[in-house]
């Protein structure tokens, strides 16, 4: 199957860490991505991880991949109000004509 699931909402206080979770069902995923959508805008690629990696760090962002559990997470350190947005995880499947399968999105709200 090609289902990618995320929790819909997450609220954190400014300065705290945020962890956004994603589960997927197809173990043949080759690349997994995190996209960010700010209000009134399109999606923008934040980071990605290749399926043979467990972790990737990029400044305030840490991506963790647990292939056994088919679980992907995005941790944002020192969350700021500008991080408030919708976050989508996505996967690339071999042989998939549509290239990317997106999750349902997680609305992150950062409270002052």
Interface with another protein by CB under 8 A: which residues?
8, 30-31, 33, 40-45, 48, 50, 86, 88, 92-100, 102, 104-105, 107
**Nearest approach, Cβ of 8 to another protein (angstroms)?**
8
Cβ-count burial 38-56 (b if 16+ within 10 Å, e if not): eeeeebeebbbbeeeeeee
CA distances for 61 relative to 9, 17, 35, 49, angstroms: 19, 10, 12, 12
Q: CB-wise, 95 or 112, nearer to another protein?
A: 95
Q: Pick between residue 46 and residue 77 the one whose CB is nearest to another protein.
A: 46
Closest to another protein by CB, 73 or 107: 107
Write down the least CB distance from residue 15 to another protein, Å: 26
């Amino acid at each position: 199957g090609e289902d990618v699931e995320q929790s819909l909402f997450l609220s954190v206080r400014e300065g705290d860490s945020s962890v956004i979770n994603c589960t997927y069902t197809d173990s043949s995923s080759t690349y997994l991505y995190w996209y960010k959508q700010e209000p009134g805008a399109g999606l923008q690629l934040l980071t990605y991880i290749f399926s043979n990696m467990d972790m990737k760090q990029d400044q305030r962002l840490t991506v963790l991949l647990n292939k056994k559990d088919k679980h992907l997470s995005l941790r944002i350190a020192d969350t700021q109000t500008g991080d408030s947005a919708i976050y989508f995880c996505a996967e690339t499947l071999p042989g998939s004509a549509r290239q990317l399968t997106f999750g349902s999105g997680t609305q992150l709200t950062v409270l002052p």
